[in-house]
Amino acid sequence: MAQSQDNTHEPVAGRAPLIVGGYDFRSLTEAVAEPVERKTPIGWWLFFLPSLAMLGLFGVSIGWLFWEGTGIWGLNNPVNWGFAIVNFVFWVGIGHAGTLISAILFLFRQKWRTSINRAAEAMTIFAVMCALVFPGIHVGRVWVAYWMFPLPNQMDMWPNFRSPLIWDVFAVSIYGTVSLMFWYVGLIPDLATIRDRAKTRIRQIVYGVFALGWRGSHRNWLHYERAYLMLAGLATPLVLSVHSVVSMDFATAQLPGWHTTIFPPYFVAGAIFSGFAMVMTLMLICRVVFKMEDIITMRHLENMAKIMLLTGCMVGYAYGIEMFIAWYSGNPYEQFAFANRALGPYAWAYWIMVSCNVITPQLFWIKKMRNHIGWLFISSILINIGMWFERFVIVTSSLHRDFLPANWDYYQATFWDFASLIGSFGLFFTMFCLFARFLPLVATAEVKTVLPEADPHQGEELVRVVRGGGDGEAVPQAAPAGGGGA
């Protein structure tokens, strides 16, 4: 931590640099490409092999599920949705921060995103992969999972497009597809970099094929940047719609605890909150393992901590409003559902959720805590635990005591429930390890644009000020915002 220059304070004049360490174009290329090109470090195996083992557990638990059926899980009669849906909502939510960083911060011209957007987008794709597994396997009769799609079939049956569950199929699968395209388009110039540096024939061919023959033509950049902007503009409403639709799976049910209009914004805020926590966890590890402390700087971490503080407060506000509305509605079932949540058999889960999600981020009001690597790491893990429990609380505590006390029961997860949860982390981390090993972790072409020397009008703004305004000569319009912006 000490070796990096502090760029978390705004200087009196100008702006703090986004990346430190005195990089120029060449050394930046070197720093990003080197981890892709060197021999696999031991440290990578230390992350990869346990992840692979967890992925193996995922395979076994899915295989056993297919063989034996959903009876291997702890589901019972009122609680028909258990870990599978909890994990699904958790993983979809994780993905949202990636899109927020890559699309929404792009539209807001937050240039600090360039150091972390590649990894965050990769995280999105892998999280959506994990999420998509669960609705696929939890249906019980997996051989008819294709009924979820509008495919012509011999029964002449079609899905019910009025159901939020079918909206979900479209929202999540299209979200995954668009995220993948966005990520790949961003990767093309960097794949070309790896291609041009490749020493072996096989690398030239593999990276060359995926780089599509990119040669940095500005006539290409013109369309490329426009496509990127359009994708960002499309991904922004898309990401907001995805978790809104996920929340409607619950909100359109009449069950107390689910049947609330606050769900869409509440779910979206929670998704961004948990996703940023996951980005934080991953970036804290990656910047050390790949020695990128000067590219993924304290400023990036601090900005992420601020967003976690904001979204954490929004989530805390939503918890409060849920309680208030339950009381204010005068509906006894609603009131019972929320009293039961905080004081009933699942009170332990509720209070884990509140302490992790509401109390933990409050320490980020203090700058010292936002700049404390150890606390950032611990809090990111705590928030992820808390956000998993939020979904657990919503799903289980609402279901286990509904209108009729004769139906009540307690849901207890089994070994196989935990195996599929741990296994999904295996899938996620295996994919992320492979990504960090074989693809450039940082969007090099984009980071180059935030270096001061990338600005074709570098210094001209100053000249104009000194000369006392436009003297008409050679200075093309107002110089676009300085390279070190945001």
Partner 1 sequence: MGLMQLDVPEASGGYRHYGVLARFRTAKELYRACEAVRDAGYSKWDALTPFPVHGLEKAMGLKPSKLPFVVLATGLGGAGLGFGLQSWVHIMAYPLVISGKPLFTWPAFVPVTFELGVLGAALGAVLGMFAFNKLPTYHHPLFRSPNFARVTDDGLFIAIEAWDPKYDDEDTAEFLSGLGAAEVEHVPIEDPADDGDGGGGA
Q: Which of residues 10-49 bind partner 1 (CB under 8 A)?
A: 24-26, 29
Which of the residues 161 through 180 are near partner 1 (CB under 8 A)? 161-162, 164, 166-167, 170-171, 174, 177-178
The DSSP call for residue 40 is P
Q: Give the nearest distance from C-beta 181 to partner 1 in angstroms.
A: 5
Q: How far is it, in rounded angstroms, from Cα 57 to Cα 67?
A: 15
**Residue number with CB closer to partner 1 (61 or 244):** 244
Q: Give the nearest distance from C-beta 427 to partner 1 in angstroms.
A: 24
**Residue number with CB closer to partner 1 (121 or 455):** 455
Residue 234 contacts partner 1 per CB under 8 A: yes
**Residue number with CB closer to partner 1 (77 or 477):** 477
Residues touching partner 1: how many (CB under 8 A)? Answer: 74
Give the list of residues 6+ apart from residue 390 with CB closer than 8 angstroms, or none: 270, 315, 353, 357
Q: How far is it, in rounded angstroms, from Cα 401 to Cα 173?
A: 32
CB count within 10 Å of CB 423 equals: 24
Please report, as a single letter, which amino acid is at residue 4. Answer: S
Whether the CB-CB separation of 86 and 266 falls below 8 Å is answered with no
CB count within 10 Å of CB 157 equals: 10
Which of the residues 244 through 273 are near partner 1 (CB under 8 A)? 245
452's tokens:
């001061």
**Residue number with CB closer to partner 1 (167 or 429):** 167
Residue 109 contacts partner 1 per CB under 8 A: no
Which of the residues 188 through 227 are near partner 1 (CB under 8 A)? 188-189, 192-193, 195-198, 201, 204-205, 207-209, 212-227
> CA-based Rg of the chain, rounded to a whole angstrom?
24
Q: How far is it, in rounded angstroms, from Cα 185 to Cα 111?
A: 18
Tokens 């981890």 found at: 35
Q: Give the nearest distance from C-beta 122 to partner 1 in angstroms.
A: 17
**Residue number with CB closer to partner 1 (275 or 440):** 440
Tell me which stretch binds partner 1 (CB under 8 A): 85-93, 156-164, 329-337, 384-392: 156-164
Q: How far is it, in rounded angstroms, from Cα 307 to Cα 279?
A: 12
Q: Give the nearest distance from C-beta 37 to partner 1 in angstroms.
A: 13
Tell me which stretch binds partner 1 (CB under 8 A): 236-244, 265-273, 361-369, 393-401: 236-244
Q: Give the nearest distance from C-beta 178 to partner 1 in angstroms.
A: 5
**Residue number with CB closer to partner 1 (356 or 447):** 447
Handedness of CA 24, 4, 306, 123 (dihedral sign): positive
Give the list of residues 6+ apart from residue 204 with CB closer than 8 angstroms, or none: 195, 198
Residue 463 contacts partner 1 per CB under 8 A: no
Q: What region, left, alpha or beta, does residue 272 occupy, with left being phi > 0 and alpha being psi -120 to 50 degrees?
A: alpha
Q: Give the nearest distance from C-beta 234 to partner 1 in angstroms.
A: 5
281's tokens:
């966890």
Residue 470 contacts partner 1 per CB under 8 A: no
Residue 355 contacts partner 1 per CB under 8 A: no
291's tokens:
């020695």
Q: How far is it, in rounded angstroms, from Cα 320 to Cα 323?
A: 5
* N-terminal to C-terminal alpha carbon distance within the chain: 22
Residue 151 contacts partner 1 per CB under 8 A: no
Which of the residues 387 through 446 are near partner 1 (CB under 8 A)? 445-446
Q: Give the nearest distance from C-beta 299 to partner 1 in angstroms.
A: 21
Q: Give the nearest distance from C-beta 453 to partner 1 in angstroms.
A: 6
